[in-house]
Amino acid sequence: AKLKEGLTKTRQGITAKVDQVLKAYKKVDEELFEEIEEILITADVGVSTTMAIIDKLRSQAKERKISEARDLRSLLKEILWETLDLNKSHALHMDPLPAIILVVGVNGVGKTTSIGKLAHKLKSEGKKVLLAAGDTFRAAAIDQLEIWGNRVGVDVIKHQEGSDPAAVIYDAIQAAKARKIDVLICDTAGRLHNKTNLMNELGKVRKIVEREYGEASKEILLVLDATTGQNAIQQAKIFNDAVDVSGIVLTKLDGTAKGGVILGISSELNIPVKLIGVGEGMNDLQEFKPKEFVNALFG
Ligand code: GDP
């Protein structure tokens, strides 16, 4: 229900408009495909993803001999679902324990909030969770993470502002081992002006994880803000060049008309969306399930 409610504007921007043109056209023709193309581009799906979707729609409509415009609806729904499900593994990597999740992303996208919500989610599934305040650049980031830690009842390993993030992660890994933690979620700095800077910053953290944990963290989650639309895709490309992002957390899907960007992310990046943010509360982080998502969009 929360998902459906959150997607209201995106649904108005995609499904409601598609329904309008399907009704207006009655019969399938080339102009109708162009109208749908226009709708998807306007809804922040992105040009190349839209093209791929429309090509598929056109060829499958032909193959299935669909001539009534209204019959395109379920075909479009199917194709959008396939587009969202290109990356089949939407679940978080959870072994070996403790699982280490590095969370990256630029400031303001909802990184701290997502970490807090994820801690709450995992904790309510019965897991022992620990947080690491690896964004040592901003005192506010450490404070915010601690507020979330208190709110959801999870400890936070922190150092002072300005200290070495790698040292915080080192301490957190030791604590996770000693306390038999199931999941350690590490915040990282989001003040990243360029790729070299980003690689240096995150490279050090990753090295510590490899050394102290015995292997690379399997889960590097990139947090992206849906309200930034196509910019989110650009950000993802920069981050993915610097570190191997294993999954995406797409925040602020509630209340934005730009939710279509999730289609562009799914098809252009070859990185699965794993979690979606649909509000500011601690229960407002959901596992991303493509079928549920299209159902909410078309429902
Ligand atoms: P950070 O700088 O990336 O750590 O960003 P924060 O976690 O501090 O979040 C920035 C703002 O976005 C805060 O006001 C959050 O409440 C808000 N926010 C984060 N996720 C969501 C979401 O899924 N939906 C909505 N509506 N707001 C969100």
Residues 154-194 have pLDDT tens digits of 999 999 999 999 999 999 999 999 999 999 999 998 876 67
**Euclidean distance between CA atoms 58 and 55, whole angstroms:** 5
Q: State if residue 206 touches ligand 1 by the CB under 6 angstroms criterion.
A: no
Q: How far is the CA of 62 from the centre of ligand 1 (A)?
A: 44
Q: Decide whether any atom of ligand 1 lies within 6 Å of the 110 Cβ.
A: yes
CB-CB contact of 61 with 72 (8 Å): yes
Distance from the alpha carbon of residue 225 to the mean position of ligand 1, in angstroms: 9
The answer to whether the CB of 260 falls within 8 A of the CB of 14 is: yes
Question: Does 256 contact ligand 1 (Cβ within 6 A)?
Answer: no
Task: Taking residues 71-85, report their average pLDDT.
Answer: 97
> Mind listing the pLDDT tens digit for each residue in 22-36?
999 989 999 999 999
Spatial separation of the C-alpha atoms in residues 261 and 248, rounded to whole Å: 12
CA dihedral 10, 246, 54, 14 (to 10 degrees): 0
The pTM for the full model equals: 0.96
ipTM above 0.85, yes or no: yes
Q: Which of 8, 109, 113, 253 to mutate to test the pocket of ligand 1 (most atoms within 8 A of CB)?
A: 113
Which of 115, 280, 286 best tests ligand 1's pocket when mutated (most atoms within 8 Å of CB)?
Answer: 280
Q: How far apart are CA 298 and CA 79, in angstroms?
A: 12
Residue 187 is labelled as binding a ligand:
yes
Q: Is 225 annotated as a binding residue?
A: no
Q: Is 264 annotated as a binding residue?
A: no
Q: Is 132 exposed, middle or buried (0-12, 13-18, 19+ CB in 10 A)?
A: buried
Q: What is the model's pLDDT at position 270? A: 87
Is pLDDT above 90 for 265?
Answer: yes
Tokens of 75: 């075909």
Q: How far is the CA of 36 from the centre of ligand 1 (A)?
A: 32
DSSP of 173-229: HHHHHHTT-SEEEEE------SHHHHHHHHHHHHHHHHHHHSS--SEEEEEEEGGGT
Quote the mean pLDDT of the chain: 94
**Residue 14 pLDDT:** 97
- Is 191 annotated to bind a ligand? Reply is yes
CA distances from 49 to 57, 163, 223, 267 (A): 12, 42, 21, 6
Is ligand 1 within 6 A of the CB of residue 149?
no
When mean pLDDT is compared across 53-57, 128-132, 161-165, the lowest value belongs to 161-165
Question: Which atom belonging to ligand 1 lies closest to the Cα atom of 285?
Answer: 23
- Please tell me if the CB atom of residue 252 comes closer than 6 angstroms to any atom of ligand 1: yes
Q: Is the CB of 108 under 6 A from ligand 1?
A: yes
Query: 280 in ligand 1 pocket by Cβ < 6 Å?
Result: yes
Q: Is residue 5 within 6 Å of ligand 1 at its C-beta? A: no
User: What's the CA dihedral at 103, 105, 111, 117 to 10 degrees?
Assistant: -40
> According to the annotation, is 13 in a ligand binding site?
no
- Does the annotation flag 251 for ligand binding? yes
